[in-house]
Structure 1
Amino acid sequence: MTVVMLTAPRRPPTPRRCPMPPPAPGPCRPPEDCGHPRRRGILVALCAALLVMSVSVMAVTIALPSIAVDLRATTSQVQWITEAAVLALASLLVAMGAVADRVGRRRVLLAGVAVFALASVLAALSRTPEQLIATRALQGVGNAMITPATLAIVRAVFPRAELPRALAAWGVVASLGVVLGPLTGGLLVEGFGWRSLFVANVAVLAVAALAIAYVVPADARPRRGATGRLDVIGALLVSGAFVATVHAVIEAPYRGWLGPATLAEAAGAVALLSAFAVRQRRARHPLLDLGMVRARSFWPAALAAATGFFALMGVLFLITQYLQDVRGHSPSQAALLLLPVAVAQLGVAHLVARVVARRGVRSTAAAGLLVLAGGAALMAAGIRSGQYGAVIAGLAVLAAGNAVTVNACATAMLGSAPAHRAGSAAAVNETAFKVGGSLGVAVLGGLAAAHLTARLPAHQAASISGALDVARHLGGTDGARLATAATGAFTDAFAQAAAVTAILAAAVGALTALLLRDPPATKGHHGS
């Protein structure tokens, strides 16, 4: 007798849906498949804190003359008022990224906001240049805590399909500070004095902190690989390497690029980085995953991003002097003339995610650098021919190319990192930006200083502003001759710097097209 077993046909598996997250723990898992329901509000809160950082850095540059007069600061002290924050930021980013991965990104973010606000209060109360330099360095410490934490949180709460667009918005906010900083600084300094810059920071940060505490979720329990004792020795080695690198770049125009002190400091930086790499290979809980950094979806992107900020920050450093000293505009007028940078950044931001989804990171980043090179070449031609419109148009094209490049590269670096290494990846991403920008200011600024030194008497060649001040005091034929020589030397230096920028960007763009690989996070996603 045969028994026939009747069974119902098996139903196809139900597609996995993103579960509703519980109210406290944070984003649903895994972030690659579904994002946090409040992710857009989280992004707004994070961008508010980031905008304060970015605006503060650039606003101080407009206030330097007032600060120098009020605090009786020397030329060297004025430079360090600007660079102390950059030095602290660049030297601590990698370490703070690792700390954020271990103890929680929201905790580190809120602590960084508190440190930056405290430093702003102390800066407003400073009575000597040394006090202001110290408080600016403390601002750099707070910035180093904030920046990688914001990027890591964006990486955690947005699904991979939406990550390029979220990073594009983050990049636009960071870039807006480049333009809004001088404009805000000019208005505040003219109306209320330079101390008002730091008071304004505190007011905005207080609102940002409340928003962060309300909408940003607490970190879930760290995943395997993110825990372990922090490598303090490794943090000291990498911080020392960045301090030596940035300090050598800042001082090289005065000590000589091939001077003994510069070469010794550069050699020390290489030795510290080598020791850091050796330690990371042997450490049980490394500060930085060298396998992630060595990936061809990571280090070529870091190089391209550094080149983008080298061009943008170096050219902005020179064009602010060109607009004020050569063209005779006030600080507020010069800031308004730089608005094409913001327009260009905003104009391409919403397109970057779509281009990355369709063409991939490699093609997008390489194309961005080539566009940037075209903008720099247009600027060089406009400066040499005296066509003012071409200079501003070239700046807008350069800014657009930079926006495409850095947003695509951020997608590559964060998209190629595992979720538990997002803080470290964000730190390396931001370090590439800051070191590239510092190199741009130092190299292109050093080029301008070399032109002035070669064509003007030594006591008149400290800066374009100093030379023109001497010319005003001389008056008459001698003053007019000196002013013409100074503006001519600076204009030639600016044109040469723009041409060098174009060549460098084109070369790195070609290298990016050959070496960069698209990370898995950008494959198969077609943004809308």
Structure 2
Amino acid sequence: MAAVTVFVPVLPRRRAAVPAWAICANALGVAALVLGVQGTHAARADVWGVPRWLLACAGTALVLAVVRIQRGQGLGALVPITLLRNRGFVTAAWGGAAASFCSGSAMIPLMLYLQRERGLAPGPAALTLVPMGVVCVLGAPVSARLNNRVGARAVAVTGSCALVAAIGASAALVATDAPIPALTAAFAVYGVANSFVWSPFSIAAVTTVAADEVGAASGTFNAVKQLGAVLGSAVCAVLLSGFGYAATLGGLAAAGLLCLLSSALLRVDPPGAGAHSSSAGLSRPATGVA
């Protein structure tokens, strides 16, 4: 009798369907949070008679409650609790949300400033951002190559620095009523940020989790990133109503520092490590007797 090694394929676990109540409760919580931050009228401290601070707190508590209630459901949860215990994923999600918070709102005060304070029509005001779009398109393939050559962390730090520099410079230029070409040049740097900052966080979000958690990690990362953009727009509206264009841009630049911090802490598996571990996990040895 001789012992032989038989390789038995191990298929990834199938993720259970997420309960409808969890999806609805999470959507309701996010809606309450956004309404609490932004409100329906800048001069009112309540929404339909409910204090805005209470709405924001209740919305946050509801989202956290959904996560907590589902903590024992594994991959069947709306947000698997294992993702929140993974430092690599949490750092990537934090960075993606911070980047969305800034980049999704920065053009709002700039466009309002150009039209209301500098007298530009909507068309000419939009044309001032054309160089930003051109730089973004040209920088995208460069960012893709650098992710493989120097690593995602270095690319993320570069993009985050460009994000903070572009929005901070725009705040200073708006405060001093600088020439419009100077604003155009500052926002061209914003194009570098947009082409460099997104892919590293996406890569880190899915390469630092187990193979059967990749789908959940991708969905959760995108949801958190969209939440950051929504909250950024809400906060931008509040700042615009109370502090003006330059202060709003300055606040967004300060929030961009959180993106820079998460970029510096970003954890990404070395190139090829994910593929190696995945191929190794496709089979396991089992000993049988022939």
Q: Structure 2-normalised TM-score?
A: 0.78
Q: Which runs of 5+ in 1 are unaligned?
A: 1-222, 452-492
Deviation at 1:354, TM superposition (A): 2.2
Q: SS of 1:380's equivalent?
A: helix
1:440 is the counterpart of 2:232? yes
Partner residue in 1 for 2:71: 281
Q: Give percent identity, aligned residues only.
A: 25
Q: SS of 2:14's equivalent?
A: coil
Tell me the distance in 2 between the aligned counterparts of 1:502 and 1:286: 35
Higher helix share: 1
Tell me the distance in 1 between the aligned counterparts of 2:95 and 2:134: 22
Partner residue in 2 for 1:387: 179
Q: State the one-letter code of the partner of 2:248.
A: A
Q: SS of 1:298's equivalent?
A: helix
Partner residue in 2 for 1:517: 267
- The CA deviation string for residues 444-483 of structure 1, in whole angstroms up to 9 with x for no partner, is 22212114xxxxxxxxxxxxxxxxxxxxxxxxxxxxxxxx
Q: SS of 2:78's equivalent?
A: coil
RMSD: 2.8
Deviation at 1:436, TM superposition (A): 1.8
Tell me the distance in 1 between the aligned counterparts of 2:54 and 2:272: 42
Q: SS of 1:230's equivalent?
A: coil
Larger radius of gyration: 1
Tell me the distance in 2 between the aligned counterparts of 1:523 and 1:392: 42
Bigger relative contact order, structure 1 or 2, given CA contacts below 8 A and separation 6+? 2
Q: State the one-letter code of the partner of 2:196.
A: V
Partner residue in 2 for 1:428: 220
The structure-2 alpha-carbon separation of the partners of 1:431 and 1:254, relative to structure 1 and needing over 3 Å to count, comes to farther
Partner residue in 2 for 1:202: none
Q: State the one-letter code of the partner of 1:236.
A: C
Tell me the distance in 2 between the aligned counterparts of 1:422 and 1:507: 25
1:355 is the counterpart of 2:143? no
1:340 is the counterpart of 2:153? no
1:506 is the counterpart of 2:270? no
The structure-2 alpha-carbon separation of the partners of 1:360 and 1:290, relative to structure 1 and needing over 3 Å to count, comes to farther
User: In 2, are the aligned partners of 1:234 and 1:279 still within 8 Å (CA)?
Assistant: no
Q: State the one-letter code of the partner of 2:62.
A: L
1:298 is the counterpart of 2:89? yes
Tell me the distance in 2 between the aligned counterparts of 1:255 and 1:431: 29
Tell me the distance in 2 between the aligned counterparts of 1:414 and 1:280: 21
Tell me the distance in 2 between the aligned counterparts of 1:255 and 1:520: 51
Partner residue in 2 for 1:415: 207
Deviation at 1:522, TM superposition (A): 6.7
Partner residue in 2 for 1:268: 58
User: In 2, are the aligned partners of 1:312 and 1:399 still within 8 Å (CA)?
Assistant: no
Summarize the alignment of residues 67-146 of structure 1 with structure 2, pairs less than 5 Å apart.
none
Deviation at 1:509, TM superposition (A): 0.9
The structure-2 alpha-carbon separation of the partners of 1:521 and 1:228, relative to structure 1 and needing over 3 Å to count, comes to farther
Q: State the one-letter code of the partner of 1:392.
A: T
Q: State the one-letter code of the partner of 1:281.
A: R
The structure-2 alpha-carbon separation of the partners of 1:237 and 1:505, relative to structure 1 and needing over 3 Å to count, comes to same
Deviation at 1:443, TM superposition (A): 1.6
The structure-2 alpha-carbon separation of the partners of 1:395 and 1:401, relative to structure 1 and needing over 3 Å to count, comes to same
Of 34, 37, 62, the match for 1:246: 34
Partner residue in 2 for 1:377: 168
Deviation at 1:346, TM superposition (A): 1.0
Deviation at 1:409, TM superposition (A): 0.8
Deviation at 1:418, TM superposition (A): 4.7
Partner residue in 2 for 1:103: none
Q: Structure 1-normalised TM-score?
A: 0.45
Partner residue in 2 for 1:48: none
Tell me the distance in 1 between the aligned counterparts of 2:22 and 2:216: 13
